[in-house]
């Protein structure tokens, strides 16, 4: 890591969850410049700031644990920096921490998500049925990859699925973050065919935490 690289941990909630990945980079760039952070740029005819987002977030998904590395032209003291940056941030994006990165994003292995599954009428025994479905050794879905759409068994890439049923069905799960990347949408894709009665009318998800291969919190 460059000595002038800073890592920001931030949340993306509310209306900000509809900001796309590409627009997020531009949003962060403008906010950092307004906050007085001098970004480091590449050379050439089309210079761009050194900014790297850990894991692109799907539009409509919230997060409490996003990470972005930024290259700066000067060394910054992380203490007190979040408050300065947040004063220039749009509603829904809040910097929670600023610190010197110690390891690369490739070390992220798992992401914990929470979700709310909304049904017009909650099916009887839904928690037990969902738990049974996601406990199966075969969870075959059609997953888009660099090689095209492939039939993929995602069962080994889903851990610690829990449910709670009140006015809606809430759940938490730990999903493979990289190689392969398993999204909540992939997880919901397993509720098709014989399990279509378990598919919610719509669902909302939030990233809660990132972990390394040892299930230690990644920073």
Residues 131-188 pLDDT 10s: 999 999 999 998 877 777 888 999 999 999 999 998 889 999 999 999 999 999 999 9
The answer on 98 and 180 residing in a single domain is no
Domain boundary among 102, 128, 147: 102
In a domain, 217, yes or no: no
In a domain, 190, yes or no: yes
* Residue 189 in this model has a pLDDT that exceeds 70: yes
Mean pLDDT within 23-46: 89
The whole-number pLDDT of residue 132 equals 92
Residue 141: CATH number of its domain: 3.30.70
In a domain, 216, yes or no: no
The answer on 94 and 78 residing in a single domain is yes
The answer on 119 and 206 residing in a single domain is yes
The answer on 150 and 67 residing in a single domain is no
The answer on 156 and 130 residing in a single domain is yes
Q: For 65-122, what is each residue's pLDDT tens digit? A: 999 999 988 777 777 889 999 999 999 999 999 999 989 999 999 999 999 999 999 9
Domain encompassing residue 21: 5-102
* Residue 1 in this model has a pLDDT that exceeds 50: no
More confident residue, 84 or 44: 84
The answer on 71 and 10 residing in a single domain is yes
| Contacts made by residues 23-29, CB under 8 angstroms, sequence distance 24+ | 24/53, 24/57, 25/51, 25/53, 27/90, 27/93, 28/68, 28/70, 28/93
Number of domains in the chain: 2
Q: For 155-166, what is each residue's pLDDT tens digit? A: 999 999 999 998
The whole-number pLDDT of residue 2 equals 47
Q: How far, in Å, are 20, 25, 34, 218 from residue 89 at the CA level? A: 16, 12, 9, 24
Rounded Cα–Cα distance for residues 180 and 145 (Å): 9
Domain boundary among 102, 126, 153: 102
The whole-number pLDDT of residue 47 equals 84
SS3 110: strand
């Amino acid at each position: 890591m460059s000595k002038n690289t800073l890592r920001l941990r931030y949340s993306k909630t509310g209306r900000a969850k509809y900001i796309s990945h590409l627009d997020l980079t531009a949003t962060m760039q403008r906010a950092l410049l307004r906050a007085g952070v001098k970004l480091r740029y590449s050379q050439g005819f089309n210079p761009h700031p050194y900014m790297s987002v850990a894991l692109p977030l799907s539009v409509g998904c919230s997060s409490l644990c996003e990470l972005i590395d930024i290259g700066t032209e000067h060394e910054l003291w992380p203490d007190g920096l979040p408050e300065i940056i947040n004063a220039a941030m749009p509603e829904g994006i809040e910097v929670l921490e600023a610190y010197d990165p110690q390891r690369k994003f490739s070390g992220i292995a798992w992401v914990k998500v929470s979700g709310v599954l909304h049904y017009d009428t909650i099916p009887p025994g839904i928690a037990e049925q969902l738990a049974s479905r996601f406990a199966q050794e075969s969870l075959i879905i059609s997953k888009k990859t660099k090689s095209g759409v492939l039939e993929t068994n995602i069962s080994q890439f889903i851990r610690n699925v829990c449910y709670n049923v009140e006015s809606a069905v809430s759940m938490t799960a730990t999903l493979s973050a990289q190689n392969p990347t398993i999204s909540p949408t992939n997880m919901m894709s397993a509720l098709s065919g014989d399990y279509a009665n378990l598919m919610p009318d719509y669902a909302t998800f939030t990233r809660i935490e990132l972990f390394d291969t040892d299930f230690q919190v990644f920073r």
